[in-house]
Amino acid sequence: MVSLPRLYPILDPACFSDAAQMFAAAEDLAAAGVTLLQYRDKSGNARRMLDNARELKQRLGATVKLIMDDRADLCLAAQYDGLHVGQDDLPVESARRIIGPARWLGVSSHNTEQLAEAEKTSADYLAIGPIFATSSKADTDPVVGLEGLRRARELTSKLMVAIGGITRANARSVIEAGADAVAVISDLLRDPRKSAEEFLRVLG
């Protein structure tokens, strides 16, 4: 049974000056009490991605569940706990066949139509966003907003992760609108441990 923590940090090497800084941030997040992390790398360099993924797993041990973004092959190779796919990645059921029934599988959606389709799949959780305007993705979809999030909540009984422009200032309103968890990138970059501790306090 999948049980998502309220805070779902995403680590992207593009947000850090080098891999060492990213690994240090991951350790800071774990020290703050984070129990789930997604590793997201859009560079396409599979060897580097696998090296980084394995290093994260080695440093964090069994205390943090690790989710691989996009790459089912690297999810298996790095022995991660789950996979997250987007609308342009592997179809959900193809991904499920590769990773098997035991690993967690999440899928991104950007509107209620996509979410309703994803609800029919074997995905364990659905992500929807961007909830607010975001700077961490160049090709963002239209903002969903809290009202769109509330509508999405009515369409699915699956766990739902909200993403896009979520900060310590607005995270609580996102949970109150129906999200089970908030995915965060930018607002964890400065002083990751302190930021994560504040998020966890806000999210309760």
Q: Is 136 annotated in the active site?
A: no
The one catalytic residue in 40, 96, 103, 158 is: 40
Which two structure tokens, joined as six digits, stand for 202?
């806000």
DSSP codes, 155-166: H-SSEEEEESS-
d(CA 139, CA 163): 14
d(CA 56, CA 69): 14
The one catalytic residue in 6, 65, 71, 108 is: 108
**Residues 130, 93, 47, CA angle at the centre, nearest 5°?**
75
d(CA 135, CA 82): 26
The one catalytic residue in 137, 150, 151, 172 is: 137
d(CA 141, CA 194): 30
d(CA 54, CA 186): 23
Q: Is 137 annotated in the active site?
A: yes
Q: In the block, which residue shows the tokens 């305007």? A: 133
Residues involved in catalysis: 40, 108, 137
